[in-house]
Amino acid sequence: MSASPMNVGIIGCGVISTAYIRGAARSRHILVKSVADIREEAARSQASAMGVGYATIDEMLADPSIEIVINLTIPNAHAEVSTRILEAGKHVYSEKPLTVSVEEAQNLLQLAAKRGLRVGCAPDTFLGASHQACKVLLDDRRIGTVLGGSASFLSRGMEAWHPNPDFFFKSGGGPVLDLGPYYITVLVNLLGPIRLVTATASTGYLTRRIGSGDRAGEDIAVETPTSYSALLIFESGARFSLDASWDVWKHQRSPIEIYGTEGSLLVPDPNFFGDEPKVSERGGDWQAVDISAFAFGERNRTLRTGREVADHRSIGVVDMALAIRQGRPHRANGDLALHVLDVLLAIGRSAAESRVIEIGSSCDRPLPVSTGSSEAVFEVINQTHSGKVA
Ligand SMILES: NC(=O)c1ccc[n+]([C@@H]2O[C@H](COP(=O)([O-])OP(=O)(O)OC[C@H]3O[C@@H](n4cnc5c(N)ncnc54)[C@H](O)[C@@H]3O)[C@@H](O)[C@H]2O)c1
């Protein structure tokens, strides 16, 4: 394997770009060569603030030394920008959701396959210590056969802190498309693909007031439902309830609970990488699951609330870069992202049309991440593909 890092570019220099540039700086396997944005001044200022190169989008796409371009634009621009990246002969790693329609996602994957290029997609939190420990625990059948469970992500909306929160409340936004990728990706990684969904939805508030930045105090119209309740049936037969809302001030629900024939598992918040799962076997007390042998569990970020969390965002890109070099599948891949998007859009469609929706796509469970140190773990070539859960 080449010792030199793979050069990457970033298109989209908004809020999340800082986390990616910092994440890349922690890895010896990728190097952010330049950043670009449709707003050239945003790219110039982020390049100078973070000490990376600046380029126009055209310059970046014409740069032969850049192999992967990370697409951090807003969801409605993902398909167009990712298509341009692939057409320029570069692998693309996109922020979630992959696109805002299944057809766009299918076109993207077909284009990539035709050109022999990779499509990767956030979230990559499922590669972290918390969720990899859960995967091993479930595969070791510590709670027996999984029968069902629940997933909940309930909060106020993003308008309180995001300076430009409009896209969260337009078509292509809402809690299911915005936060659902974390939860559905973790569930598919643990339990395999989803076969059927049914859902209802409502809109709690018709306007939202921006709470920070230059536009603080400005009201924006809400054009998408902001509360959903759904039922998900997995190909394995497991049944999950899912509640997603931006209309909730406070609650006491766990992010994900999984119930099996021999016990129950509390899966940590899929937004982060290093919280401890808890398991109860045959009705016994909750026991913390030791995650110390797994990579990417180190706490490295302090939230506004003062809570210390593990945030290793960008490890999906690192895995993809090494997978390209090693000629193996990458984990946060396009097939997984397409299936997750298919499920998320089906939740919206089911709610809008009051009907049960069968999911057309499927995918393999991603390869597990071996135990070991965060720096080295993707260098281990894992030959066994875990495949679908029967
Ligand atoms: N903000 C977060 O905490 C967060 C967390 C996880 C994932 N994400 C995802 O990351 C993506 C970006 O979110 P953000 O919060 O950084 O948004 P943002 O609005 O802060 O930044 C988006 C950037 O993309 C640029 N852009 C838009 N259209 C473009 C185009 N066609 N070509 C080039 N540049 C274009 C904008 O000028 C802007 O600088 C979204 O998909 C979001 O779902 C955001």
pLDDT at 379: 85
Q: Which backbone phi and psi does 56 adopt, to 5 degrees?
A: -75, 165
Residues 127-306+334-360, CATH architecture: 2-Layer Sandwich (3.30)
Nearest-atom index, ligand 1, CA of 178: 43
Q: Which amino acid is at 98?
A: L
165 close to 246: Cβ distance less than 8 angstroms: no
pLDDT at 382: 58
Could you tell me which of 1, 22, 27, 2 has the C-alpha nearest to residue 318? Answer: 27
CA 119 – ligand 1 centroid, Å: 18
The CA distance from 176 to 346, in Å, is: 10
Confirm or reject: Cβ of 13 under 6 Å from ligand 1: yes
Nearest-atom index, ligand 1, CA of 42: 39
CA 96 – ligand 1 centroid, Å: 10
One digit per residue, the tens of pLDDT, for the chain of length 390 reads: 556 999 999 999 999 999 999 999 999 999 999 999 999 999 999 999 999 999 999 999 999 999 999 999 999 999 999 999 999 999 999 999 999 999 999 999 999 999 999 999 999 999 999 999 999 999 999 999 999 999 999 999 889 889 999 989 988 789 999 999 999 999 999 999 999 999 999 999 999 999 999 999 999 999 999 999 999 999 999 999 999 999 999 999 999 999 999 999 999 999 999 999 999 999 999 999 999 999 999 999 999 889 999 999 999 999 999 999 999 999 999 999 999 999 999 999 999 999 999 999 999 999 999 998 888 888 876 544 443 332
Quick one: the chain helix, strand, coil %, rounded to 5?
35, 25, 45
- Helices of type H across the chain: 17-25, 40-50, 57-62, 78-87, 102-115, 129-139, 174-191, 315-326, 334-353
- What are the tokens at 377? 């773990």
Among 73, 98, 104, 271, name the best residue to mutate to test ligand 1's pocket (greatest count of ligand atoms within 8 A of Cβ). 73
Confirm or reject: Cβ of 342 under 6 Å from ligand 1: no
How far does CA 114 lie from the centroid of its chain? 25
Confirm or reject: Cβ of 73 under 6 Å from ligand 1: yes
Nearest-atom index, ligand 1, CA of 75: 41
Confirm or reject: Cβ of 58 under 6 Å from ligand 1: no
User: Exposed, middle or buried, 260 (CB in 10 Å: 0-12/13-18/19+)?
Assistant: buried
CATH superfamily of domain region 6-121: NAD(P)-binding Rossmann-like Domain (3.40.50.720)
pLDDT at 389: 30
CA 76 – ligand 1 centroid, Å: 10
pTM: 0.94
Confirm or reject: Cβ of 329 under 6 Å from ligand 1: no
Nearest-atom index, ligand 1, CA of 76: 28
Nearest-atom index, ligand 1, CA of 12: 24
CA 154 – ligand 1 centroid, Å: 22
What are the beta bridge partners of residue 59?
none
Q: Where are the domains of the chain?
A: 6-121, 127-306+334-360
